[in-house]
Amino acid sequence: MMFPKKINHKRKSPKRKDVTRITQKARDEVLRRSECKCERCGRTSAYAFEVAHLKGAAQGGSGSDPSNLALLCGPSVNTGTCHNWADYTKEGKEWRTEKRKELKRYYEQQNR
C-alpha cells in the first residue's frame, strides 16, 4: 500500500507559543539587569525566581523582548509571592504597566 507524500510547508505566521516563549537571550538579559533579585521586593532568596511577562502572553507580549520581562519571586499561583501579586491584583497589574514603561525607557537609552 502506498501512502501519499507528506506535504512540507512553512507557516505564514508563527504560532502564539513561539512568539510568547521566553528566549534564552532575553532570560540572560533579565538576570543580568536584575542582578538575580526580585524586581519588585528585592529578595535574593525566595521560593524560586520566575521570569514573568509584563504584557501577558495572552495579549501577545513577546518573550524575546527584555523590556516585557521581569524577574519576580514565584510561583505565580496562590502563594502570596510577587509573581502572584503582579498577575492577580489590581495594584500588581498597574505595577506591571509602569514597570514595562520604565524598562522601555531604559532600553531606549541603552540603544542610543
Per-residue pLDDT tens digits for 1-59: 677 777 777 777 777 667 788 899 999 999 999 988 999 988 887 568 889 999 987 78
What confidence score (pLDDT) does residue 92 get? 94
Give the confidence band of 90 by pLDDT, cuts at 50, 70, 90.
very high
What confidence score (pLDDT) does residue 56 get? 82
Q: Is residue 84 part of a domain?
A: yes
Q: Is residue 5 part of a domain?
A: no
- Alpha-carbon distance of 105 to 112, in angstroms, equals 11
Q: Is residue 38 part of a domain?
A: yes
Q: Is residue 76 part of a domain?
A: yes
User: Which helix (H) or strand (E) covers residue 76, if one does?
Assistant: none
**Please, is 94 exposed, middle or buried when counting C-beta atoms within 10 Å of its C-beta (0-12, 13-18, 19+)?**
exposed
Q: Is residue 37 part of a domain?
A: yes
Q: Is residue 41 part of a domain?
A: yes
Q: Is residue 83 part of a domain?
A: yes
- Give the up-direction half-sphere exposure of residue 32: CA atoms within 13 A in the CB hemisphere: 8
Angle ∠(86,89,92) on CA atoms, nearest 5: 35
Number of structural domains, the chain?
A: 1
Instruction: For residue 1, count other CB atoms closer than 10 A to its CB.
Output: 2
Residue 100 in this model has a pLDDT that exceeds 60: yes
Specify which of 43-47, 69-73, 76-80 reaches the highest per-range mean pLDDT: 69-73
Domain that holds residue 62: 21-110
